[in-house]
Amino acid sequence: MARKEIGILLLLLSGASSRAQPEFDQIQIRAERVAGNVHVLYGGGGNIGVSVGPDGVLLVDDQYAPLAPKIRAALRTIAGDRPVRFVLNTHWHGDHTGGNEIFGETAPIIAQENVRKRLVTGGVLSNGRRFEPAPEGALPIITFDRKLSVHVNDEEIRGLHLERGHTDGDVVVYFTRSNVVHMGDQFVSGGFLPFVDFNSGGDLDGLIANIDQVIGTVPDDVRVIPGHGAVAGKPDLVAYSKMLKDTRAALRRAKSSRGSLEALLGDPVFRQYGWPEEEKRDFLGRLYRGIVDPR
Ligand SMILES: [Zn+2]
């Protein structure tokens, strides 16, 4: 999670809406073509996947409600006046679903069952972020358990639920003709570190299994939209899987030796990754508290 986003959230939590607004004001939404019909929008929350074609626009995730006007403006540059017809959520976190209440006015929101359940209740993530119960209009009106396909813009867009990874409601979305996969927050790139949200049913073993399942399923030349960070490729998924396995091995060493968090942070396996100290401490600290020393 970006520190900037956490800052925005803290401002929102403190009720300082007059101060939060300029933060959103400063965020630019930038569109980039990925492959085939698919574009990505970078901005102030999770990356938005966009399918554009004769049937209109399908969004994968929608960042924050206050950014909706900028998202619409960015969509106009790639889709003209074509309407948003469908929204698919990769998981329930508010930086991916906050725009639901706006785009849900005209397009059905589609998500895995657990996404709707968690949006109804809201909750505190294991990194301390809190998302309030979502307004009625933000709730998915179409839910599914294992998989779902949307047939638009001359291709099958497949949503596949992978169990207990980043959360317990994660869906990866594969654009079958464009050969693009949106990973949600199960995969992040470009300096972002992974997040296992134990409070939302996340699981490190599950996350690794999910990444490996995707690696074993998608073509070698697939383009990969991460939940956060720049568009990547299959080799990046492979490297990410290895990094997660290195991390899991270090956690197991810490657990069996009853090692401290400091000892975990000093594990030589992490030297190759060159993570900034603060991000490393956040990332490993959460895993340590979740796996080695649960309270
Ligand atoms: Zn997330």
Share of the chain above pLDDT 90, in %: 89
The residue ranges of every structural domain in the chain are 3-244
For the segment 166-191, what is each residue's pLDDT rounded down to a tens digit? Answer: 999 999 999 999 999 999 999 999 88
Report how far ligand 1's centroid is from the alpha carbon of 261 (Å): 24
Q: Using the predicted structure, report yes or no on whether residue 241 has a pLDDT greater than 50.
A: yes
Report how far ligand 1's centroid is from the alpha carbon of 177 (Å): 26
Report the pLDDT value the prediction gives residue 294, as an integer from 0 to 100.
79
The average pLDDT across 72-87 equals: 97
Report the pLDDT value the prediction gives residue 19, as an integer from 0 to 100.
35
Report how far ligand 1's centroid is from the alpha carbon of 185 (Å): 5
Report the pLDDT value the prediction gives residue 9, as an integer from 0 to 100.
47
Report how far ligand 1's centroid is from the alpha carbon of 257 (Å): 31
Distances (CA, A) of 241 to 73, 187, 209, 212: 36, 9, 9, 7
pTM over 0.85: yes
For the segment 22-31, what is each residue's pLDDT rounded down to a tens digit? Answer: 489 999 999 9
Q: In 3D, which of 108, 113, 105 has the Cα closest to residue 88?
A: 108
Report how far ligand 1's centroid is from the alpha carbon of 103 (Å): 19
Report how far ligand 1's centroid is from the alpha carbon of 161 (Å): 15
For the segment 54-65, what is each residue's pLDDT rounded down to a tens digit? Answer: 999 999 999 999
Superfamily grouping for domain 3-244 = Ribonuclease Z/Hydroxyacylglutathione hydrolase-like (3.60.15.10)
The average pLDDT across 198-213 equals: 97
Report how far ligand 1's centroid is from the alpha carbon of 4 (Å): 15
Report how far ligand 1's centroid is from the alpha carbon of 194 (Å): 9
Q: Listing from the earlier edge strand, what are the strands of the sheet with 48-53?
A: 30-35, 38-42, 48-53, 56-60, 84-88, 109-112, 142-144
Query: % helix / strand / coil in the chain, to the nearest 5?
Result: 45, 20, 35
Report how far ligand 1's centroid is from the alpha carbon of 202 (Å): 10
Report the pLDDT value the prediction gives residue 23, as an integer from 0 to 100.
86
Report how far ligand 1's centroid is from the alpha carbon of 193 (Å): 12
Report how far ligand 1's centroid is from the alpha carbon of 255 (Å): 26
Phi, psi torsion values for 193, nearest 5 degrees: -105, 150
Report the pLDDT value the prediction gives residue 11, as an integer from 0 to 100.
42
Report how far ligand 1's centroid is from the alpha carbon of 82 (Å): 28
| Cβ proximity of 244 and 257 under 8 Å | no
Dist CA 268 CA 288 (whole Å):
16
Report how far ligand 1's centroid is from the alpha carbon of 99 (Å): 14
Residue 5 banded pLDDT, cuts 50, 70, 90: low
Share of the chain above pLDDT 70, in %: 92
Residue 198 banded pLDDT, cuts 50, 70, 90: very high
Residue-averaged pLDDT of the chain: 92
Phi, psi torsion values for 163, nearest 5 degrees: -75, 145
